[in-house]
Structure 1
Amino acid sequence: MIDKQSPIPIYYQIEEYIKKMIENKTFNPGEAIPSEREFTEMFEVSRMTIRQALTNLVNEGILVRKKGKGTFISEGKIEQPLQGLTGFSEEMEKRGLVPSSQLLEFKILQVPESMTKQLKMSLNQKVYEIKRIRYADQIPMAIETAYVSCDIIKDLHEEDTLQSLYAYLEKQGLKIGHASQTLEASLVTKEDAKLLDVPEHSPVLLIDRLTFLSDNRPLELVKSIFRADRYKFVIDIQRKD
């Protein structure tokens, strides 16, 4: 299985062995792999070597650790193109997954001063603050906090937030035009790790999206935290003449 006389590091050989087991369907997505102790006995190497190999595979998104449960084969990442403006529910349905939401907070508050410029609002105006966990096939994928103008949506209720917000808005006769979006990498906080069911300090993707109506009025500012082990963004880039 591994060659201890090889110049190739043992931890790397173990990584390749596990990858081959996945390719051969010996280990299937969602299944638990042997424990560190079992791997240590199997390969007759130190536990530190096994831990390094498994950690590298976790960082690659091939494995995922679940606190108190063990290490599992990743279910694979959902790809979302950065072209086009779609909501979470629309993207999941395109992939044959069932989207759902758990509402964590729903309240009306004065627009935060830090958002007044982006939303083109004054401090005396109000926004809905909507914080949700977004699920795909009952697996938590993201934590989403949206700030939506109360002047544009007059009568939003908690039950309305359990569906696609974009679909709800379009039913109200509002036409969504475009959005600007930023994306950066970070590590999950202790509180968010529990909500996303990932280990503390796991990598996450932080996404801020400012959405406009077709008449260029700012509609909402959304701050999202996506699991980096289950989600990735892709973009088609063309070279200009």
Structure 2
Amino acid sequence: MNLKIDHTSPKPLHKQAEELIRNLIDTPEYRDGQYLPKEVYLSEQLKISRNTLRQAISTLVAEGLLVRKKGVGTRVQKKKIFSGASNWLSFSEEMRILGIEIHNFELQIIRHEVSAEVAAFFGIEVGTKVMRLERLRGKKDAPFVYFISEFSPQIPISASENFNRPLYEILERDYGIVAFTSKEEINAAAADSFIAAKLEIKQGEPILIRKRYVYDINNNPIEFNVGCYRADSFTYTIESKRNI
């Protein structure tokens, strides 16, 4: 990446350097924890003093974006996926940690007109078509969750993907989109005839509906996800710590 500071700008040099390094560490080359170029090289390329450069780097270290090791260098802190309450994982990762082997019983991806709720989330017109992924998943002997994911029209995901891979791995590795924040809603409901047939339960039996609003590292909405779980197969645990 060509790093260049505008020495005629009224913006302070250290703030310009900070913005340039923010952009640098978000590139695929650096986002997985690579070391930045040496300070002497960066300061020469930017045509600023090393003290000015260190001021910019110190800000990013304080924000947790960089890690500085004396005598070694400064590296990018690896991106972590978390929600406001606690660390969060994709469904595939959750099941892997629990030692549960997941099977896909049904899978389809189609272009679909969004509802008013989904349109409001993505900031698009009602009726706009986006890619919609539907999956019936569960243990080897029976399904226990039906997922519907709708994706921002900015993401060129298609039916050609290998959906045996975790979804967020596909988004990150194939499209450079890091799922960063998940806002969730969970409520109980009675299964309608469609979901009851999918989950192999009786119509009217209880299910849990888990709705996720997923954003990338720049707080752009990327996925609207609804999971309908058999109530006898899903427990949601929240761990909170009191400030003292």
Matches within 5 A, 1:63-82: none
Percentage of identical aligned residues: 22
What residue in structure 1 maps to residue 98 of structure 2?
95
Displacement of 1:109: 2.7
In 2: Cα distance, 1:109 partner to 1:233 partner: 30
User: Which of 167, 170, 174 does residue 169 from structure 2 map onto?
Assistant: 167
- Give, in angstroms, the shift of residue 169 of structure 1: 1.0
Counterpart Cα distance in 1 of 2:151 and 2:141:
26
Deviates more, 1:186-195 or 1:216-225: 186-195
Q: Amino acid of the residue matched to residue 89 of structure 1?
A: S
Deviation (angstroms), 1:104: 4.4
Quick one: distance in 1 between partners of 2:217 and 2:119? 20
- The 1-side partners of 2:219 and 2:207 are apart by 31
1:100–1:163 contact (8 Å) kept in structure 2: no
Tell me the residue number matched to 2:182. 179
State the aligned residue count. Answer: 159
Give the superposed CA RMSD. Answer: 2.1
**Residue type of the partner of 2:242?**
R
Q: Aligned partners of 1:181, 1:230: CA distance in 2, in Å?
A: 19
Partner residue of 1:223? Answer: 226
Q: How does 1:42-191 map to 2 (within 5 A)?
A: 83-123=86-126, 125-151=128-154, 153-157=155-159, 159-172=161-174, 173-191=176-194
Q: Distance in 2 between matches of 1:113 and 1:228?
A: 28
Give unpaired runs (5+ residues) of structure 2: 1-84
Distance 2:160 2:141 in 1: 20
Label 1:136 to 1:83 Cα distance change in 2 as closer, same or farther (>3 A). farther
State the 1:124 CA deviation: 6.9
Q: Indicate conservation of the 8 Å contact 1:100/1:138, yes or no.
A: no
Most deviating of 213-222 and 158-167: 158-167
Does 1:198 find its partner at 2:201? yes
Kept in 2: contact 1:100–1:162 (CA 8 A): no
Query: Structure 1: which 5+ runs fail to align?
Result: 1-81
- Give 1 or 2: higher strand fraction: 1
Whole-angstrom distance in 2 between the partners of 1:224 and 1:187: 14
Distance 2:86 2:105 in 1: 27
8 Å CA contact 2:109–2:158 kept in 1: the answer is no
Q: Measure how far apart 1:159 and its partner are.
A: 4.5
What is the match of residue 61 of structure 1? none
Change in 2 beyond 3 A, CA 1:157/1:104: closer
**Deviation of residue 84 (structure 1)?**
1.9
1:136–1:166: structure 2 CA closer, same or farther, 3 Å change rule? farther
- Which structure would you say has the larger RCO, counting Cα contacts within 8 Å and 6 or more residues apart? 1
Shift in Å, 1:235:
0.7
Alpha-carbon distance change, 124 to 187 in structure 1, aligned in 2, over 3 angstroms: closer
Q: Does 1:235 align with 2:228?
A: no
**Any conservation in 1 of the 2:115–2:127 contact (CA below 8 Å)?**
no
Q: 3-state SS of the aligned residue for 1:114? A: helix
| Partner deviation per Cα, 1:50-98 (whole Å, 9 max, x = no partner) | xxxxxxxxxxxxxxxxxxxxxxxxxxxxxxxx73221111111111111
Contact 1:101 1:163 in 2 (8 A): no
Give secondary structure in 1 for the equivalent of 2:239.
Answer: coil
Residue 87 of structure 2 aligns to a residue in which SS? Answer: coil
